[in-house]
Amino acid sequence: MPTIHYSNCPVCGSGQQHSVFNVKDYTVSGEVFAVAECDRCSLRFTQDVPDQESIGPYYKSEDYISHTNTSKGIISKLYQAVRTRTMKQKAGIIKKFTREKTGHLLDLGCGTGTFLNTMRGESWQVAGLEPDADARAMAKTLYGLEVAPAHELYQQPENFYDAITLWHVLEHVHELQAYVAQLRKCLKTDGVLFIAVPNYTSKDATAYQQYWAAYDVPRHLYHFSPKAMETLMAMHGLQIATYLPMWFDSFYVDMLSSKYKSGKTQYVSSGLHGLSSNINAIGNAKACSSVIYVIQLSPEAIE
């Protein structure tokens, strides 16, 4: 199977890196992958990942909730219950930061279409892209949404979208630089890009180390710090306007992490880890387990 080994950082291009630790794929394959860190921008990245044409089988699991909509197991049931609430919260974030009650929205990696359906209910014109054919079919079955394959990002109209959203998607994208460049082209001059990714500099990530579930190798190619995200956006004439916390993520991720570490979900200890991580991030969203980056064109790029 063709794999990718990064000699240079996928974000800043630096050749200076060091090994961090090995992480096991607990979801599908049971394989172990090395995680490295860039000495310049602090991006972490998974080494020897399957290439874009070969990685599909690593997503084929009933436990991969965004693609299957499963409610199997206590953790999945909790995820589904929380997701209903967070969809409305995300819709509020979109309207607040775009300052638009309605507009055109593109959701990348839209999975089974839950967020698209929420925004359609808010009277937005929505378009979704998703690489997984089964998830696209489910979006049509569940919500009547016609979701396009992910590669159609490069056929999207330029300077068109008021909002572009990537909810835990950018860490999966093989063609990182080309992808971000295209996102900027599709965004209106006054549009807003919303990127949510896990934050390996959070307190819960530090506590669980290689067992932290948000490493999710090999599906997660990159593991962002706020510094790495800032570096990536600046390379494309974009700047981060605001950092927003995703409070629920720490609890969900920590439950999975405790299972990976001990073989059984430790509900009490993982809950305490999640709470401690969130308390540590109060007043500093950059320290949260997952961060929503609210991104706009930099003033220099607009001129």
pLDDT for the residue 68: 46
pLDDT score of 73: 55
Q: What is the CA angle 236-91-103, rounded to 5?
A: 65
Per-residue pLDDT at 64? 53
The mean per-residue pLDDT over the stretch 214-223 comes to 98
pLDDT of residue 76: 56
pLDDT at 186: 98
Mean pLDDT of 5-18: 98
Facing residues of 239 across strands? 296
Helix then strand then coil, in percent of the chain rounded to 5, is 45, 25, 35
pLDDT at 60 over 90: no
Peptide bond into 218 cis (omega under 30): yes
Q: Which are the contacts of 97, defined by CB distance < 8 A and separation ≥ 6?
A: 192, 194, 241, 242, 294
Q: What percent of the chain has pLDDT over 70?
A: 92
Highest mean pLDDT among 34-43, 258-267, 272-281: 34-43
Q: Where are the alpha helices (DSSP H) in the chain?
A: 65-68, 74-98, 114-121, 133-143, 176-186, 203-208, 226-234, 247-262, 267-281, 299-302
**The pLDDT of residue 192 is above 90:** yes
Q: In angstroms, rounded to a whole number, what is the distance separating the alpha carbons of residues 2 and 217?
A: 16
pLDDT above 90 for 166: yes
- Tell me whether strands 32-38 and 44-46 are parallel, antiparallel or unpaired: antiparallel
Instruction: For residue 48, give the nearest of 31, 28, 71, 30 by alpha carbon.
Output: 31
Residue-by-residue DSSP string for 247-287: HHHHHHHHHHHHHHHHSS--HHHHHHHHHHHHHHHTT-GGG
Structure tokens at 281: 């991030």
Confidence bin at 67 (pLDDT 50/70/90): very low
Spatial contact of 254 and 274, defined as CB atoms under 8 Å apart: yes
According to the model, what pLDDT value does residue 65 have?
Answer: 46
Does this model's pTM top 0.85? Answer: yes
Show the tokens assigned to 128: 């979704």
| 104-108 and 125-129 strand pairing | parallel
Q: What is the mean pLDDT of residues 48-60?
A: 93
pLDDT of residue 46: 98
pLDDT at residue 71 greater than cutoff 80:
no
Phi-psi region of 93 (alpha: psi -120 to 50; beta: other; left: phi over 0): alpha
pLDDT tens sequence across 78-95: 655 667 778 989 999 999
Q: Dig out the tokens for 47 from the structure.
A: 């080494």
- Helix 247-262 vs helix 74-98: crossing angle, to nearest 10: 150
pLDDT at site 194:
98
CATH for 3-302, among 3.40.640.10, 3.30.420.40, 3.40.50.150, 3.40.50.10800? 3.40.50.150
* 277-294 average pLDDT score: 96
